[in-house]
Structure 1
Amino acid sequence: MTQLRTVQVLGGGSAGSSAHVRSLASGLVARGVRVTVCAPAELDRLYDYLGAGAHFVPLPRLGDPATVTALRNACIGADVVHAHGLQASVRAALALSAGSRCPLASAGGGRGPLASAGGARSPLAPAGGGRTPLVTTWHSRHHLDGARGGVQRLLERTTVRASSVVLATSSELVDRARLRGARDARLAPVTVPAARGPVCLHDGKARAELGAVDRPLLMAVGALERGRGYGTLLDAAREWRELDPQPLLVIAGEGPERAALQRRITAEGLAVRLIGRRDDVAELLAAADVAVLPSRREARSLLAQEALRLGVPLVATAVGGVPELVGDAAELVPYGDAGALAGAVRGLLEDAERRMDLAAAGRVQAGTWPTEDETVAHVLSVYDELAGR
């Protein structure tokens, strides 16, 4: 039997999908699979796909026409191409479509942004005719409004129909993929690597660095962008000012909303620190008294997974795949409800026994998730099925 060859494609590269591809590449290589990872160059510097034993092909920036050419060349001879996220799925589908002219051509009688010039078949038409099978994984769900939301829905419909199999990390995303017309959508919970090495809970050094030696420490992690719920989180922080001692909220992450958030923190005198992107998030999270996840949309949140594994009590919004992921091992509140968020955090800070119960429940819940090895084995079984092995 010939050696199976797969190409993994990343677009924007969220932390969850990028870490999953690193874990997947390492596990597949260990099983004798030839793996090529195609992604923006900076992701290899962050996740070291070469170190996992994969071949790495850097992709040009988003929107560069050379991206599709680079992907098409990388996919020659592949048994299965696996794209992670919507951007990557669009690129991969275009690369696998022979003779596509322009990814988003609008010629051809005004049939929409994905019609090919001259009335030809869309370059994202469903797979067939012996084309290399395309697997797409939906790691999360982004919510866009107005015209951008319409384009997003159109791209979702077109890419899932171009895919042989759609893997989704939560039941909600499976339903969404089927609604968009996926021929084969399957639940595939993704477990990303746990923190390597020992992690010390309530580490005094980390708390001192963050400025929370004699006060409660709250921790949030994620890109500083719209839809993450940070406005609501700052509203809650305003309510925590009455507590004695006043808790410190630390937010790790970068993004376009940083300047606006910092202006508000300064103007309102909030006990909040923005510490940017960090590579020691597990250590910082382990030092926290409570983790907070205020997002509008989540599937299998990295923060939720890490918090429950570490036994850090979690307050999260009851959205997307979060309830399915955490079960009864976290305090869940409605999205956008600052009062409920503030109250849940305050209740935990005032109830040490409840924090201990959640810590224990979190570790039990984490034990129900698939391991990295099981995740790799499941994905490989899909590849073997599509490759007729």
Structure 2
Amino acid sequence: MRETIGVTSIHLFGFERQRDLFAWSDGFALAGAEPLERIRPLYRDDARLAWLRAFPAAKWLHCGVEFDCADGDRATGFELYPLEDGHQCVALCKLIEQNGLTIMLACSGGGEAGPLAPEHRELLGRLTPHLVRAVRLYARRFTLNADTLANRSRPPAMLVSALGDVLHSNEPAQRLLKATSLVRVRGRRIALAAPHHARLLEDIAVSEARLRNRASGARAAAARFRALRIVGASEGGPDAARAPDAAASLDPHDEAHAGPHSTHPSASQPEVLYAFYNVVTADDASASELRAFAALTFYHPRSAPPVDERVLASAFDLSPAECRIALLLAEGLTQKEIAARVGVQHDTVRKQLQSIFQKTATRRQPDLLRLLLNLPARGPGAAAEG
């Protein structure tokens, strides 16, 4: 296409309207001065966003035809990506706009480039339906690969910028927001109880500065897991939200050891929320474009998802009685307590547990508990069918 219509480069890039940021970029013959702009909070106040929201999909803007390419504010407004000096956009098309994702195709030429020839504009018009179809198929595949897998994750998870912007939150995180007031998202920004909110944002900002300056040990320090223990002030008293070791280092495996069914506080106990996070960044970002984010996972004892009995039954062919034994074990009951709860002999529970071990290929109770606490959860569609 680049050679046929005689342009310098072709740039395909994606813009996420939900988060107001350019999130993906690819193309042909792109200059070194045309990197992907990763996170620019100023986009929210950028006049270009009005065009992104209002311009119809599958329609081309052509230099000298639909918009003016002369120097001036109007021409600058259509430069949606950085260009090498002396280059300018000669044709731009919003291919699709669906589910908050906008994908655009831009053709650039030299500084003296005029409008494309009529036959080249006609060719782009004929190609547009095919480009739209190809991009829709790719976007669908990306959505399945990313969102579906992310939402299968059992722990509530969020990706947060140094400004507190929530760039991504999975489905369990959305449910968590409805279950507790210890974490909130207001205007797309995370809100934690003091002093944890300021500490989190400061940690991301400091890590970002050290990574940009290539400070010694910066990457290892950013990857280290931290833990925040947030206690409800109303139930735990005025000092309940303070955790002296809230930003202490945490071994990455510690989160798994505190399974979601290890404790279930009573209504009289203070509400507690645990946030585990480390700082991540794009490996291929230049120093000037580098942005750091906190990858958070949460554990809320009162709203932790239970072991899915149907997953247990279908995956391991457990009987209803065996599923019940497994679920009570995950709740923290001993074999004697299970026998009393179910109303059977202790020896019956022991025999059923041996059958569970055999079907799940585990040998000991700790191995079985680790398996139970790491089972996948059924998706919303499966839950609805049930």
User: Normalized against structure 1, the TM-score is what?
Assistant: 0.26
User: Normalized against structure 2, the TM-score is what?
Assistant: 0.27
Higher Cα Rg, which structure: 2
